[in-house]
Amino acid sequence: MNDQMMNQPKHWLHLLPTLQTDSHKYSRGYVFIEGGYPMTGAARLAAVAAARVGAGITVLAVPEIAFQIYASQLLSIIVKPYANAATLAQLVDDERINAYLIGPGAGISEHTRSSTLDLLRTGKPVVIDADALTAFAEQPQTLADAVKGPCVLTPHAGEFAKLTGHTIAATQTLKIAQAQAAARTFNATLLLKGAVSIIASADGRILLNNNAPPTLATAGAGDVLAGLITGLLAQGMPAFEATAAACWMHGSAATLFGPGLIAEDLSPMLPAVLRTLASQANH
Ligand SMILES: NC(=O)C1=CN([C@@H]2O[C@H](COP(=O)(O)OP(=O)(O)OC[C@H]3O[C@@H](n4cnc5c(N)ncnc54)[C@H](OP(=O)(O)O)[C@@H]3O)[C@@H](O)[C@H]2O)[C@@H](O)CC1
Ligand SMILES: Nc1ncnc2c1ncn2[C@@H]1O[C@H](COP(=O)(O)OP(=O)(O)O)[C@@H](O)[C@H]1O
């Protein structure tokens, strides 16, 4: 594979968020994540990752029934319960929010579908992951028609097949073509996750991420990655570069941790990853 296509810091280092001396939490980036029930771990993993990668404020909106579960194990993440679609809409409609994430642990349902469409209607950056992708398996065009602003879709091979109706091809060249076609169809950045992940933009750009160790094949690793992408989007990075940077940080964090990795271990490795990137940026 062409070396130029390999995801490396040179592709996005200059776009990483930088702190200003007068930064405040809202100016650093406000992430809004919809959490589901009963699978509550996934959105929590994503929220912590978004905060660790530098978002100044991360809010998790959760069904009232799940509030105590979420809130009892999160300190810096703000958990907001909602009772119904109207109260959720009020939480979504906060002009200070910079990027949204939906899908981890969301459940495949009409609620997930309509919530995803509501987020896309804002025109702000939206990351659509996991169940929020599968929820559109029977109606991908509805999703494609709804994309207005920057959008990142993050399927693994199974989710990609369900959403597009195409089983993943056997060769890397064909997989790249599939990812490129899907990015165009949905007018979004498409991250096809795997041992080598493919990052495709709607305008045809491609990067391949090959720094991920197989220890990442563990439940929740994708949820962390979705949180990283959202955190970088909230800080103003463009969708393609935010996705590439997040993939690289994710792989790097896993490599740094080494054997025995579970998804919770990734975010605590981020400060070291970010420190290394900051020193590269200063040279
Ligand atoms: N702690 C928590 O709360 C966690 C909650 N989580 C939440 O769980 C929900 C469901 O997530 P999910 O990933 O299990 O997806 P799902 O739609 O059931 O599809 C899986 C099927 O697809 C296929 N498949 C093919 N290729 C594949 C591949 N490369 N990687 C994976 N699968 C591949 C394979 O089928 P097969 O090919 O074997 O027939 C497989 O059976 C979602 O909300 C997520 O956020 C998790 O994140 C974990 C931590
Ligand atoms: N064999 C592997 N080698 C390297 N990275 C992998 C491997 N398997 C999975 N990954 C990475 O781990 C993450 C798994 O995400 P995903 O399948 O969405 O899991 P989950 O839904 O449990 O969070 C992706 O970033 C993927 O690229």
Tens digits of residue pLDDT in 77-93: 999 999 999 999 999 99
34 within ligand 1 shell (Cβ under 6 A): no
Candidate from 34, 39, 115, 198 with most ligand 1 atoms within 8 A of CB, to mutate = 39
Residue 148's pLDDT band (boundaries 50, 70, 90)? very high
Q: Which atom of ligand 2 is nearest to the CA of 213?
A: 4
Largest Cα–Cα distance in the chain? Answer: 51
Tens digit of each residue's pLDDT (9 = 90 or more) over 173-225 = 999 999 999 999 999 999 999 999 999 999 999 999 999 999 999 999 999 99
CA of 228 to the centre of ligand 2 (A): 14
CA of 86 to the centre of ligand 2 (A): 35
User: Is 105 known to sit in a ligand binding site?
Assistant: yes
- Give the closest residue (by CA) to ligand 2 atom 22: 219
C-alpha distances in Å from residue 83, one per residue of 61, 120, 125, 181: 10, 21, 25, 39
Q: Which atom of ligand 1 is nearest to the CA of 220?
A: 49
User: Is 25 known to sit in a ligand binding site?
Assistant: no
- Selection from 197, 248, 193 nearest residue 10 by Cα: 248
Candidate from 60, 128, 156, 216 with most ligand 1 atoms within 8 A of CB, to mutate = 156
CATH code that applies to domain 25-265: 3.40.1190.20
CA of 104 to the centre of ligand 2 (A): 13
CA of 34 to the centre of ligand 1 (A): 18
ipTM: 0.96
User: Is 222 known to sit in a ligand binding site?
Assistant: yes
User: Is 195 known to sit in a ligand binding site?
Assistant: yes
- Selection from 38, 30, 45 nearest residue 62 by Cα: 38
Tens digit of each residue's pLDDT (9 = 90 or more) over 226-275 = 999 999 999 999 999 999 999 999 999 999 999 999 999 999 999 999 99
